[in-house]
Amino acid sequence: RLPTLVLVGRPNVGKSTLFNRLTRSRDALVANVPGLTRDRRYGRGKVGGRPYLVVDTAGFDPTAKEGLTAEMVRQAELAIREADLVLFVVDGRAGLTPHDEAIADYLRALGVAVRVLVNKTEGLDRAIARADFYALGFGEPLSISASHGDGVREMIHEVLAPF
């Protein structure tokens, strides 16, 4: 069984951009699992010789109790329960937000394994960009740029090392 990585985070942090980069390899096979309002997208990928499954989820507000947003949370939760590792994507240019903290609390309550990815760090000092995000409580964040590709291969190498 391939290790399954699930991308989680608030809207516009770059989850889908990262998904596209992680499934760009020649043997990528992308399946769409339609949800009521948003899709969970599944892709097969291989970066640095390591194969994995990756799941993109819609950005969500875990405090939503009803309506469309609650359905998005439900879709994300289905994916998270199948995950070997949640990749919690945050925006290194925006910095830490209350919405990120709400998602962190939600993930902690689910008891899943989580690694924080600080995206949009191209052209920034990567150590400074990730400094804020230690406060989320999931250990050392990894800095990447999904759109430029910086740090993505190293990230995959590191997060898949235990599998």
Residue list, annotated binding site: 9-16, 56-60, 119-122
Report in angstroms how near the CB of residue 27 gets to ligand GDP at its nearest.
22
Report in angstroms how near the CB of residue 20 gets to ligand GDP at its nearest.
8
Which residue lies nearest ligand GDP, judged by its C-beta? 14
> CB–CB of 10/97 below 8 Å?
yes
Return d(Cα 148, Cα 10) in angstroms, integer: 20
- Listed in sequence order, the residues at least 6 apart from 129 whose beta carbon sits closer than 8 Å to its beta carbon are 92, 93, 118, 121, 143
> Which position among 17, 23, 75, 143 is part of the footprint of ligand GDP (CB under 6 A)?
17
Q: Which is nearer to ligand GDP, 152 or 160 (CB)?
A: 152
Indicate the annotated binding residues for GTP. 9-16, 56-60, 119-122
> Which position among 119, 126, 129, 142 is part of the footprint of ligand GDP (CB under 6 A)?
119
Does position 32 interact with ligand GDP (CB under 6 A)? The reply is no
Return d(Cα 28, Cα 58) in angstroms, integer: 20
Burial 84-102 (b: 16+ CB within 10 A, else e): bbbbbbbbbeeebeebbee
Contacts with ligand GDP, residue ranges (CB under 6 A): 9, 11-17, 59, 119-120, 122, 145-148
